Structure 1
Amino acid sequence: MAFFQEFVLADQSQHDIKAFDCGKPDMDRFLARFAVKNMRLGLSRTWVLPVVSERQQAQKAQIAAYYSLAASTVVREEIPTNIKLPGYPVPVVLLARLAVEEQFKGQRLGEKTLITALRKSVELTDAGLPALNVILDVLDEDALGFYQRYEMFEPFTDDPMRLFVPMHTLRHIR
């Protein structure tokens, strides 16, 4: 089975968002019920990796993976840095969601999705959306293990399930 060459914005008229199953009901529900709605409201953007199929002409494309990004702010005191920052909230990119369809796990799509999401974060920042870091709230221990494999994420607060990576680190990802 082949995938599109790039992630595209979720579109319920072209993508079968309701059939996505990553094994985590909250992640499936978000894509099916809230991803497109949140895009319309300007709250976040969700990109999907469609599956290429010969039979696809008359039906919606299956989704192999997705990620969602949103703008957010954090208070300066929470940021583990030596950089002198203003006393008001600091802008960050929130990696709100990242999931791979159950049938495609084990094919390194999680890694591809993560790298794509982090590159998109840098692209958005370079295009004018100011952000100091990318932060994420980890769903569970499985997800924490996934992110820890990359050795670039650091705990953001005393909560080990909240991670961050500085934007200047992400600029070096190829």
Structure 2
Amino acid sequence: MKIPLSNLSFSLLNEDIDISAFRCGEPDLTEFLIEDALENQAARLSVTRIVLHEGQVVGFFTLTNDCIIRKSVSDDDGEEWYPYPHYPALKIARLATHQEFEGRGIGRAMLLKTVAIAMRLSQYVGCRMITVDAKPKSEGFYLKYGFQKALTNKKKDTIPLYRDFYRSYQEAEKGMSL
């Protein structure tokens, strides 16, 4: 059964949150959360947010700065007149749902929160895209939520995806005015 967004809370990872019981289907993601996330956050390399439901950690996502090569972006995205070789982006460095809560809307909630963060960030610094290097078995999840494959791919073990969140915002705004 889906968990309503209103029943989830999001907070920055800190030493007071017990993450020791978190387990997801990707052991390297669990290991990152438990062993590396706080250290990376303290070093200002990434920021991790925890998703809680009834006091239990049900998911987490980690964000960092990124850019995407302009040639990797579809002609329908970005801006034709933009003169630089890269678009500024916010990268989803890690995103995982506790294995007991998969399929209950936690991943979707984390993506919604990421888009909200990107929109807020873009009011202070240039940020147009959200990027993720998806594991092959996670590709469908991101494609379902509007991400597209980057047009150039030099990676072998992950699939670079992006979403022009500002374009989506513009399209939604036009739709609302009808």
Q: What's the TM-score, normalizing by structure 2?
A: 0.78
Whether contact under 8 Å (1:7, 1:47) holds in the other structure is yes
Aligned to 2:98: 101
Quote how far apart the aligned CAs of 1:90 are.
3.2
Aligned to 1:23: 25
Kindly provide the CA deviation profile for residues 120-144 of structure 1, in whole angstroms up to 9, marking residues without a partner as x: 1212222x13112111100222x11
Aligned to 1:133: 129
Structure 1 Cα separation of the partners of residues 64 and 117 of structure 2? 11
Structure 2 Cα separation of the partners of residues 68 and 98 of structure 1? 6
The secondary structure found in structure 2 opposite 1:36 is helix
Whether contact under 8 Å (2:9, 2:53) holds in the other structure is no
The secondary structure found in structure 1 opposite 2:141 is helix
Among residues 41, 44, 60, which one is paired with 2:43 in the alignment? 41
Alignment length (residue pairs):
161
Q: Structure 2 vs 1, CA of residues 170 and 41 (structure 1 numbering), >3 Å: closer, same or farther? A: farther
Whether contact under 8 Å (1:118, 1:170) holds in the other structure is no
Aligned to 2:64: 70
Q: Structure 2 vs 1, CA of residues 26 and 170 (structure 1 numbering), >3 Å: closer, same or farther? A: farther
Kindly provide the CA deviation profile for residues 45-66 of structure 1, in whole angstroms up to 9, marking residues without a partner as x: 111112334xxxxxxxx31111
Aligned residues: CA RMSD: 2.5
Structure 1, unpaired ranges of 5+? 54-61
Quote how far apart the aligned CAs of 1:21 are.
0.5
Structure 2, unpaired ranges of 5+? 174-178
Aligned to 2:176: none
Q: What's the TM-score, normalizing by structure 1?
A: 0.80
Quote how far apart the aligned CAs of 1:35 are.
1.3
The residue type equivalent to 2:14 in the other structure is D
Aligned to 1:57: none
Aligned to 2:109: 112
Kindly provide the CA deviation profile for residues 55-113 of structure 1, in whole angstroms up to 9, marking residues without a partner as x: xxxxxxx3111111111123333333452323354321111111100111121111111
Q: Structure 2 vs 1, CA of residues 32 and 129 (structure 1 numbering), >3 Å: closer, same or farther? A: farther
The secondary structure found in structure 2 opposite 1:116 is helix
Quote how far apart the aligned CAs of 1:8 are.
0.7
Structure 2 Cα separation of the partners of residues 146 and 88 of structure 1? 28
The residue type equivalent to 1:129 in the other structure is V
Task: Work out the percentage of aligned pairs sharing the same amino acid.
Answer: 24
The residue type equivalent to 2:125 in the other structure is L
Structure 2 Cα separation of the partners of residues 111 and 41 of structure 1? 28
